Amino acid sequence: MEEDLKSTETPAASSQNGAPQDRQGLGSPDPKNSIRLSRRRTRAATRPEAPDSPPLGGSRDRARESAASTSERLIPDHIRKRFVQVGHRYYFSDGAHAFTDRGASLVTPSENTEVVKSLIGIAEARGWKEITVSGSERFRKEAWSAASALGLKVRGYRPTEFERAQLARKLARDAAVTPGGVEPSSPTGTGPKADRDHGVRDRPKGPITGRLIDHGVAAYRHDPREPVSYFVKLDTPEGEREIWGIDLKRALKDSLTQPKIGDEIGLRAVRRETVTVQERERDPQGKVVGQKPLAAHRNRWIVERQEFFAGRAAAARTLRDPSIDPKQAAMRHPELVGTYLQMQAAQIAARRFRDPQDQEKFVSRVRSALADAVARGEPLPPVRLKEKAATRVHEASRGEEAPTR
Protein backbone atom coordinates (compact mmCIF):
# COMPACT_ATOMS: atom_id res chain seq x y z
CA MET A 1 0.00 0.00 0.00
CA GLU A 2 1.05 3.58 -0.52
CA GLU A 3 1.38 5.45 2.71
CA ASP A 4 1.26 9.13 3.58
CA LEU A 5 2.04 10.81 6.86
CA LYS A 6 -0.19 10.77 9.91
CA SER A 7 -2.59 13.62 10.30
CA THR A 8 -4.20 15.05 13.39
CA GLU A 9 -7.05 16.45 11.28
CA THR A 10 -10.51 15.17 12.14
CA PRO A 11 -12.78 15.97 9.18
CA ALA A 12 -16.34 14.72 9.11
CA ALA A 13 -15.80 11.06 8.36
CA SER A 14 -17.82 9.72 5.47
CA SER A 15 -17.26 7.31 2.63
CA GLN A 16 -17.45 8.28 -1.01
CA ASN A 17 -21.06 7.17 -1.27
CA GLY A 18 -22.09 9.13 1.81
CA ALA A 19 -22.20 6.29 4.31
CA PRO A 20 -20.87 7.27 7.73
CA GLN A 21 -17.38 6.12 8.57
CA ASP A 22 -16.53 5.02 12.09
CA ARG A 23 -14.18 7.40 13.83
CA GLN A 24 -12.50 4.66 15.80
CA GLY A 25 -9.65 5.51 18.11
CA LEU A 26 -10.71 9.17 18.12
CA GLY A 27 -12.95 9.23 21.17
CA SER A 28 -16.02 7.49 19.76
CA PRO A 29 -17.15 4.07 21.03
CA ASP A 30 -15.88 1.04 19.14
CA PRO A 31 -18.44 -0.25 16.66
CA LYS A 32 -19.25 -3.95 16.84
CA ASN A 33 -18.63 -5.26 13.37
CA SER A 34 -19.39 -8.96 13.28
CA ILE A 35 -19.37 -12.07 11.14
CA ARG A 36 -21.54 -14.96 12.25
CA LEU A 37 -22.77 -18.27 10.97
CA SER A 38 -26.14 -17.94 9.26
CA ARG A 39 -28.63 -20.37 10.74
CA ARG A 40 -31.69 -21.43 8.80
CA ARG A 41 -34.73 -22.97 10.40
CA THR A 42 -35.51 -26.32 8.86
CA ARG A 43 -38.70 -28.36 8.94
CA ALA A 44 -37.05 -30.95 11.13
CA ALA A 45 -36.16 -28.25 13.62
CA THR A 46 -39.76 -27.02 13.83
CA ARG A 47 -41.41 -30.42 14.22
CA PRO A 48 -42.14 -31.65 17.76
CA GLU A 49 -39.82 -34.41 18.84
CA ALA A 50 -41.21 -37.89 18.20
CA PRO A 51 -42.26 -39.80 21.35
CA ASP A 52 -39.94 -42.69 20.56
CA SER A 53 -36.87 -40.49 20.06
CA PRO A 54 -33.95 -41.48 22.26
CA PRO A 55 -33.17 -39.03 25.08
CA LEU A 56 -30.29 -36.59 24.62
CA GLY A 57 -27.11 -37.04 26.56
CA GLY A 58 -26.03 -40.41 25.17
CA SER A 59 -22.44 -41.11 24.16
CA ARG A 60 -23.19 -40.38 20.47
CA ASP A 61 -24.70 -36.99 21.36
CA ARG A 62 -21.77 -36.08 23.60
CA ALA A 63 -19.34 -36.96 20.80
CA ARG A 64 -21.27 -34.72 18.39
CA GLU A 65 -21.29 -31.85 20.90
CA SER A 66 -17.55 -32.23 21.49
CA ALA A 67 -16.80 -32.19 17.75
CA ALA A 68 -19.06 -29.14 17.24
CA SER A 69 -17.36 -27.31 20.12
CA THR A 70 -13.90 -28.02 18.68
CA SER A 71 -14.94 -26.81 15.22
CA GLU A 72 -16.64 -23.75 16.71
CA ARG A 73 -13.36 -22.46 18.17
CA LEU A 74 -11.08 -23.50 15.32
CA ILE A 75 -8.59 -20.83 14.22
CA PRO A 76 -5.94 -21.65 11.59
CA ASP A 77 -2.37 -21.44 12.86
CA HIS A 78 -1.26 -18.88 10.25
CA ILE A 79 -4.03 -16.54 11.48
CA ARG A 80 -3.46 -17.25 15.18
CA LYS A 81 0.21 -16.26 14.82
CA ARG A 82 -0.75 -12.78 13.65
CA PHE A 83 -2.31 -11.89 16.99
CA VAL A 84 -1.80 -12.22 20.75
CA GLN A 85 -4.48 -14.39 22.33
CA VAL A 86 -5.91 -13.78 25.80
CA GLY A 87 -8.81 -16.14 26.38
CA HIS A 88 -11.18 -15.64 23.48
CA ARG A 89 -9.91 -12.13 22.73
CA TYR A 90 -7.18 -11.45 20.19
CA TYR A 91 -4.90 -8.40 20.16
CA PHE A 92 -2.35 -6.74 17.92
CA SER A 93 1.24 -6.90 19.14
CA ASP A 94 0.95 -3.35 20.54
CA GLY A 95 -2.01 -4.32 22.72
CA ALA A 96 -4.86 -2.95 20.59
CA HIS A 97 -7.96 -5.13 20.39
CA ALA A 98 -8.25 -6.95 17.04
CA PHE A 99 -11.28 -9.22 17.47
CA THR A 100 -13.19 -11.45 19.88
CA ASP A 101 -14.07 -15.08 19.15
CA ARG A 102 -17.58 -15.84 20.37
CA GLY A 103 -17.78 -19.24 18.76
CA ALA A 104 -20.69 -18.79 16.37
CA SER A 105 -19.68 -15.18 15.73
CA LEU A 106 -16.52 -13.09 15.39
CA VAL A 107 -16.69 -9.49 16.59
CA THR A 108 -14.22 -6.67 15.90
CA PRO A 109 -13.99 -2.89 16.33
CA SER A 110 -11.77 -2.73 13.23
CA GLU A 111 -12.32 -2.18 9.51
CA ASN A 112 -8.71 -3.15 8.76
CA THR A 113 -8.64 -5.19 5.56
CA GLU A 114 -6.23 -7.77 6.97
CA VAL A 115 -8.42 -8.26 10.06
CA VAL A 116 -11.47 -8.78 7.86
CA LYS A 117 -9.59 -11.32 5.74
CA SER A 118 -8.49 -13.12 8.91
CA LEU A 119 -12.07 -13.37 10.15
CA ILE A 120 -13.25 -14.70 6.79
CA GLY A 121 -10.37 -17.20 6.86
CA ILE A 122 -11.57 -18.39 10.28
CA ALA A 123 -15.14 -18.71 9.00
CA GLU A 124 -13.96 -20.80 6.06
CA ALA A 125 -11.84 -23.04 8.30
CA ARG A 126 -14.89 -23.68 10.51
CA GLY A 127 -16.90 -24.79 7.52
CA TRP A 128 -19.30 -21.84 7.50
CA LYS A 129 -20.87 -21.95 4.05
CA GLU A 130 -23.17 -18.99 4.66
CA ILE A 131 -22.44 -16.03 6.91
CA THR A 132 -24.25 -12.92 8.09
CA VAL A 133 -22.28 -9.68 8.38
CA SER A 134 -23.25 -6.62 10.40
CA GLY A 135 -21.69 -3.33 11.38
CA SER A 136 -20.30 -0.43 9.36
CA GLU A 137 -20.83 -0.31 5.62
CA ARG A 138 -17.11 -0.55 4.91
CA PHE A 139 -16.72 -3.60 7.12
CA ARG A 140 -19.68 -5.35 5.48
CA LYS A 141 -18.39 -4.50 2.02
CA GLU A 142 -14.89 -5.81 2.75
CA ALA A 143 -16.31 -8.93 4.36
CA TRP A 144 -18.61 -9.58 1.39
CA SER A 145 -15.72 -9.23 -1.05
CA ALA A 146 -13.35 -11.50 0.92
CA ALA A 147 -16.02 -14.12 1.62
CA SER A 148 -17.39 -14.18 -1.92
CA ALA A 149 -13.88 -14.70 -3.26
CA LEU A 150 -13.75 -17.90 -1.18
CA GLY A 151 -17.19 -19.06 -2.32
CA LEU A 152 -19.06 -18.24 0.90
CA LYS A 153 -22.61 -16.88 0.71
CA VAL A 154 -23.09 -13.58 2.49
CA ARG A 155 -26.12 -11.99 4.09
CA GLY A 156 -26.20 -8.43 5.40
CA TYR A 157 -24.67 -6.64 2.42
CA ARG A 158 -26.13 -5.94 -0.99
CA PRO A 159 -23.32 -5.31 -3.52
CA THR A 160 -23.72 -2.96 -6.46
CA GLU A 161 -23.47 -4.19 -10.03
CA PHE A 162 -20.06 -2.56 -10.24
CA GLU A 163 -18.88 -4.44 -7.14
CA ARG A 164 -20.15 -7.72 -8.59
CA ALA A 165 -18.29 -7.04 -11.84
CA GLN A 166 -15.20 -6.06 -9.85
CA LEU A 167 -15.34 -9.37 -7.95
CA ALA A 168 -15.67 -11.29 -11.21
CA ARG A 169 -12.59 -9.56 -12.63
CA LYS A 170 -10.66 -10.26 -9.43
CA LEU A 171 -11.55 -13.95 -9.48
CA ALA A 172 -10.58 -14.24 -13.13
CA ARG A 173 -7.27 -12.50 -12.47
CA ASP A 174 -6.51 -14.63 -9.42
CA ALA A 175 -7.29 -17.79 -11.37
CA ALA A 176 -4.81 -16.74 -14.04
CA VAL A 177 -2.05 -15.56 -11.69
CA THR A 178 -2.39 -18.08 -8.86
CA PRO A 179 -3.89 -21.25 -10.33
CA GLY A 180 -2.96 -23.15 -7.17
CA GLY A 181 -5.15 -20.89 -5.08
CA VAL A 182 -2.23 -19.49 -3.04
CA GLU A 183 -3.10 -16.18 -1.44
CA PRO A 184 -0.61 -13.43 -2.34
CA SER A 185 1.39 -11.97 0.50
CA SER A 186 -0.11 -9.02 2.32
CA PRO A 187 1.32 -5.52 1.87
CA THR A 188 3.85 -4.24 4.36
CA GLY A 189 4.22 -0.94 6.15
CA THR A 190 3.83 0.20 9.70
CA GLY A 191 2.53 3.72 9.63
CA PRO A 192 1.72 6.83 7.61
CA LYS A 193 4.50 9.03 9.02
CA ALA A 194 6.09 9.19 5.57
CA ASP A 195 5.87 7.51 2.21
CA ARG A 196 7.28 4.02 2.75
CA ASP A 197 6.24 2.33 -0.48
CA HIS A 198 9.03 2.48 -3.08
CA GLY A 199 6.46 3.15 -5.79
CA VAL A 200 5.80 6.58 -4.27
CA ARG A 201 9.14 7.35 -2.71
CA ASP A 202 11.10 6.76 -5.91
CA ARG A 203 8.63 8.77 -7.97
CA PRO A 204 7.66 6.44 -10.83
CA LYS A 205 7.93 7.96 -14.30
CA GLY A 206 4.29 7.25 -15.00
CA PRO A 207 1.20 7.67 -12.82
CA ILE A 208 -0.30 4.86 -10.75
CA THR A 209 -3.13 3.67 -12.95
CA GLY A 210 -6.20 1.48 -12.54
CA ARG A 211 -9.97 1.41 -12.32
CA LEU A 212 -11.35 3.50 -9.46
CA ILE A 213 -13.11 1.19 -7.00
CA ASP A 214 -13.65 3.42 -3.99
CA HIS A 215 -12.37 6.48 -2.14
CA GLY A 216 -13.18 8.31 1.04
CA VAL A 217 -12.29 9.39 4.55
CA ALA A 218 -11.33 6.61 6.96
CA ALA A 219 -8.96 5.73 9.77
CA TYR A 220 -5.56 5.13 8.20
CA ARG A 221 -5.48 1.62 6.66
CA HIS A 222 -8.93 1.19 8.27
CA ASP A 223 -7.12 0.66 11.56
CA PRO A 224 -9.03 2.03 14.58
CA ARG A 225 -5.74 2.89 16.27
CA GLU A 226 -4.73 5.34 13.53
CA PRO A 227 -5.77 8.95 12.80
CA VAL A 228 -8.17 9.89 10.02
CA SER A 229 -6.74 10.04 6.50
CA TYR A 230 -8.01 9.65 2.91
CA PHE A 231 -7.73 6.68 0.58
CA VAL A 232 -8.16 5.84 -3.09
CA LYS A 233 -8.66 2.18 -4.01
CA LEU A 234 -7.77 0.98 -7.51
CA ASP A 235 -8.13 -2.22 -9.46
CA THR A 236 -4.80 -2.59 -11.27
CA PRO A 237 -3.43 -5.37 -13.51
CA GLU A 238 -1.45 -6.57 -10.47
CA GLY A 239 -4.50 -6.61 -8.20
CA GLU A 240 -6.28 -4.21 -5.90
CA ARG A 241 -4.18 -1.36 -4.59
CA GLU A 242 -4.98 1.17 -1.87
CA ILE A 243 -3.22 4.55 -1.82
CA TRP A 244 -3.38 6.76 1.28
CA GLY A 245 -2.75 10.49 1.57
CA ILE A 246 -4.36 13.51 3.19
CA ASP A 247 -4.03 15.50 -0.05
CA LEU A 248 -5.95 12.94 -2.13
CA LYS A 249 -9.24 14.48 -0.97
CA ARG A 250 -8.24 17.88 -2.39
CA ALA A 251 -6.80 16.29 -5.55
CA LEU A 252 -10.10 14.59 -6.33
CA LYS A 253 -12.09 17.72 -5.59
CA ASP A 254 -9.86 19.89 -7.82
CA SER A 255 -9.52 17.31 -10.57
CA LEU A 256 -10.15 18.69 -14.06
CA THR A 257 -11.73 15.45 -15.26
CA GLN A 258 -13.72 14.66 -12.07
CA PRO A 259 -13.27 10.84 -12.00
CA LYS A 260 -16.20 8.64 -10.99
CA ILE A 261 -16.35 5.11 -9.59
CA GLY A 262 -15.55 2.71 -12.44
CA ASP A 263 -13.39 5.17 -14.40
CA GLU A 264 -9.85 4.35 -15.48
CA ILE A 265 -7.73 6.90 -13.65
CA GLY A 266 -4.16 7.83 -12.83
CA LEU A 267 -2.62 9.16 -9.61
CA ARG A 268 0.69 10.91 -9.42
CA ALA A 269 2.59 12.38 -6.46
CA VAL A 270 4.06 15.50 -8.05
CA ARG A 271 6.00 16.79 -5.07
CA ARG A 272 6.58 16.31 -1.36
CA GLU A 273 6.18 18.95 1.29
CA THR A 274 8.14 18.86 4.54
CA VAL A 275 5.80 19.26 7.51
CA THR A 276 5.82 18.68 11.26
CA VAL A 277 3.23 16.32 12.69
CA GLN A 278 2.42 15.12 16.18
CA GLU A 279 3.26 11.43 16.57
CA ARG A 280 1.38 9.48 19.22
CA GLU A 281 3.48 7.73 21.84
CA ARG A 282 2.11 4.47 23.27
CA ASP A 283 3.01 2.36 26.27
CA PRO A 284 3.65 -1.42 25.96
CA GLN A 285 -0.11 -2.02 26.28
CA GLY A 286 -0.83 0.21 23.29
CA LYS A 287 -2.35 3.08 25.27
CA VAL A 288 -1.59 6.61 24.04
CA VAL A 289 0.54 8.31 26.69
CA GLY A 290 1.71 11.42 24.86
CA GLN A 291 2.75 13.10 21.62
CA LYS A 292 6.01 14.28 20.15
CA PRO A 293 6.77 16.44 17.09
CA LEU A 294 8.04 14.56 14.07
CA ALA A 295 9.44 15.85 10.78
CA ALA A 296 7.74 14.09 7.88
CA HIS A 297 6.75 14.50 4.25
CA ARG A 298 3.31 14.96 2.76
CA ASN A 299 2.67 14.16 -0.86
CA ARG A 300 0.98 16.57 -3.23
CA TRP A 301 -1.24 14.51 -5.56
CA ILE A 302 -2.82 14.77 -8.99
CA VAL A 303 -5.80 12.52 -9.70
CA GLU A 304 -7.27 12.49 -13.20
CA ARG A 305 -8.79 10.16 -15.76
CA GLN A 306 -6.22 8.32 -17.83
CA GLU A 307 -7.03 10.24 -21.02
CA PHE A 308 -5.89 13.40 -19.24
CA PHE A 309 -2.38 12.01 -18.76
CA ALA A 310 -2.32 10.76 -22.35
CA GLY A 311 -3.21 14.26 -23.57
CA ARG A 312 -0.58 15.84 -21.36
CA ALA A 313 2.07 13.42 -22.63
CA ALA A 314 1.26 14.43 -26.22
CA ALA A 315 1.39 18.13 -25.28
CA ALA A 316 4.77 17.64 -23.57
CA ARG A 317 6.20 15.97 -26.68
CA THR A 318 5.09 18.95 -28.76
CA LEU A 319 6.64 21.41 -26.31
CA ARG A 320 9.97 19.55 -26.26
CA ASP A 321 10.34 19.87 -30.04
CA PRO A 322 11.84 23.33 -30.77
CA SER A 323 11.24 22.86 -34.50
CA ILE A 324 7.47 23.15 -34.01
CA ASP A 325 6.22 26.70 -34.50
CA PRO A 326 4.66 28.03 -31.24
CA LYS A 327 1.58 29.24 -33.11
CA GLN A 328 0.99 25.82 -34.64
CA ALA A 329 1.69 24.14 -31.29
CA ALA A 330 -0.84 26.40 -29.53
CA MET A 331 -3.46 25.58 -32.17
CA ARG A 332 -2.82 21.88 -31.60
CA HIS A 333 -2.75 22.21 -27.79
CA PRO A 334 -4.55 25.39 -26.66
CA GLU A 335 -3.74 24.54 -23.04
CA LEU A 336 -0.08 25.33 -23.79
CA VAL A 337 -0.60 29.03 -24.56
CA GLY A 338 0.54 30.11 -21.09
CA THR A 339 3.50 27.72 -21.23
CA TYR A 340 4.66 29.15 -24.56
CA LEU A 341 4.44 32.62 -23.07
CA GLN A 342 6.86 31.40 -20.41
CA MET A 343 9.12 30.05 -23.15
CA GLN A 344 9.02 33.46 -24.81
CA ALA A 345 10.01 35.10 -21.54
CA ALA A 346 12.89 32.62 -21.21
CA GLN A 347 14.13 33.48 -24.70
CA ILE A 348 14.11 37.19 -23.80
CA ALA A 349 15.93 36.49 -20.54
CA ALA A 350 18.55 34.43 -22.39
CA ARG A 351 19.76 37.57 -24.17
CA ARG A 352 21.64 38.43 -21.00
CA PHE A 353 24.19 35.80 -21.92
CA ARG A 354 26.84 36.91 -24.42
CA ASP A 355 27.70 33.43 -25.63
CA PRO A 356 25.04 32.08 -28.07
CA GLN A 357 25.72 28.57 -26.77
CA ASP A 358 24.88 29.70 -23.23
CA GLN A 359 21.69 31.28 -24.53
CA GLU A 360 20.71 28.07 -26.28
CA LYS A 361 21.55 25.96 -23.21
CA PHE A 362 19.45 28.21 -20.95
CA VAL A 363 16.40 28.08 -23.22
CA SER A 364 16.78 24.31 -23.64
CA ARG A 365 16.80 23.75 -19.88
CA VAL A 366 13.73 25.92 -19.39
CA ARG A 367 11.95 24.06 -22.20
CA SER A 368 12.80 20.69 -20.64
CA ALA A 369 11.62 21.76 -17.16
CA LEU A 370 8.34 23.11 -18.51
CA ALA A 371 7.75 19.97 -20.59
CA ASP A 372 8.37 17.78 -17.52
CA ALA A 373 5.78 19.76 -15.55
CA VAL A 374 3.27 19.42 -18.39
CA ALA A 375 3.84 15.65 -18.59
CA ARG A 376 3.40 15.22 -14.83
CA GLY A 377 -0.01 16.83 -15.11
CA GLU A 378 0.77 19.85 -12.95
CA PRO A 379 -1.42 22.96 -13.32
CA LEU A 380 -0.48 24.96 -16.38
CA PRO A 381 0.35 28.68 -16.13
CA PRO A 382 -2.71 30.86 -16.70
CA VAL A 383 -2.78 33.45 -19.47
CA ARG A 384 -3.38 36.85 -17.93
CA LEU A 385 -4.87 39.73 -19.89
CA LYS A 386 -1.72 41.84 -19.51
CA GLU A 387 0.40 39.00 -20.85
CA LYS A 388 -1.95 38.56 -23.80
CA ALA A 389 -1.81 42.27 -24.62
CA ALA A 390 1.98 42.39 -24.26
CA THR A 391 2.34 39.34 -26.48
CA ARG A 392 0.14 40.83 -29.18
CA VAL A 393 2.22 44.03 -29.18
CA HIS A 394 5.45 42.04 -29.28
CA GLU A 395 4.25 39.78 -32.09
CA ALA A 396 2.78 42.72 -34.02
CA SER A 397 6.17 44.44 -33.90
CA ARG A 398 7.61 41.28 -35.49
CA GLY A 399 4.75 41.00 -37.96
CA GLU A 400 3.48 37.78 -36.34
CA GLU A 401 0.18 36.82 -34.78
CA ALA A 402 0.11 35.71 -31.15
CA PRO A 403 -1.30 32.26 -30.44
CA THR A 404 -4.74 32.20 -28.86
CA ARG A 405 -6.45 29.70 -26.62
The string of pLDDT tens digits covering residues 272-305 is 777 676 777 777 766 777 777 776 678 889 999 9
| 11 domain residue, yes or no | no
Mean pLDDT in residue range 336-355: 90
**CA 383 – CA 339 distance, rounded (Å):** 9
**Boundary-marking domain end, from 284, 307, 330:** 307
**CA 123 – CA 35 distance, rounded (Å):** 8
| 351 domain residue, yes or no | yes
Identify whether residues 163 and 216 lie together within a single domain: no
| Lowest mean pLDDT across 72-76, 170-174, 245-249 | 170-174
Q: Residue 295: which domain range?
A: 198-307
| 312 domain residue, yes or no | no
Within 8 A by CB and 6+ apart from 44, the residues are: none
| 185 domain residue, yes or no | no
Pairing of strands 130-134, 105-108: unpaired
- Per the CB < 8 A criterion, the answer to whether 350 and 359 are in contact is yes
| CA end-to-end distance (rounded Å), the chain | 40
Mean pLDDT in residue range 192-221: 67
**Boundary-marking domain end, from 279, 307, 335:** 307
The string of pLDDT tens digits covering residues 80-119 is 888 888 888 888 766 778 899 998 899 999 888 888 989 9
**306 pLDDT more than 70:** yes
The phi and psi torsions of 234 (rounded to 5 degrees) equal -120, 150
**Boundary-marking domain end, from 264, 279, 307:** 307
Identify whether residues 91 and 154 lie together within a single domain: yes
- Chain mean pLDDT for the chain: 74
